[in-house]
Amino acid sequence: MTNIRLVYLYRDASNYKQHGEVILSNEKRLSIEEIDTQVRALLSDGLFFIARQVQLEERFFSVVNEDDHPWHEYVQVEATTDPTFDPIPEVKRDITQFMKELEQAHDSGWDESQVRADLIQQIEKEREALKRWLVSQSHAVKMMENEPIIQTST
């Protein structure tokens, strides 16, 4: 039987990449085109997902920095005769089970907090810095709005 290789990656803001893959069975013998279409329909912008929400291995780099974010990127699906390989070996998911997990994650909303604890801390730190910057910009605008307009004669 032909299995399905799902290829994905993590790409940080500096375009450094870490690739990942899972090989799932295809008991219903769905076509590659059908699987690809269904998968893309369930991803954020047809491309992005949170790996932990669908029980895929997170491909983050070992050291977290300001370039990191929680999203993984779908690359493709392809037919393979390689044996199944799943981060959840005791389950041995079929591609249809995986697509059900994608659908559940899609329907409940992709949750950026479903990642490693150190990445959550980095994201929160960046959000706080952004909030402080927005507040400072808001104060600057208010100060400018309150300044009298000086007209000069020409």
User: How far apart (Å, rounded) are the C-alpha atoms in residues 52 and 113?
Assistant: 10
Helix (H, G, I), strand (E, B) or coil at 116: coil
Q: What is the pLDDT of residue 138?
A: 75
Q: What is the pLDDT of residue 143?
A: 67
| Cβ partners under 8 Å of residue 10, min gap 6 | 17, 18, 20, 51, 58, 59, 60, 61, 71, 72, 73
Confidence of residue 150 (pLDDT cuts 50, 70, 90): low
pTM: 0.77
**What tokens were used for 69?**
């974010």
Of 13-22, 23-32, 44-53, 122-131, least confident by mean pLDDT is 122-131
72-93 average pLDDT score: 91
Helix (H, G, I), strand (E, B) or coil at 118: helix
Each residue's pLDDT tens digit, 101-137: 999 999 999 998 878 777 777 777 777 877 887 877 7
Each residue's pLDDT tens digit, 40-68: 999 999 999 999 999 999 998 888 888 88
Select the more confidently predicted residue: 2 or 117.
2
Q: What is the pLDDT of residue 133?
A: 77
Q: Where are the domains positioned within the chain?
A: 3-127
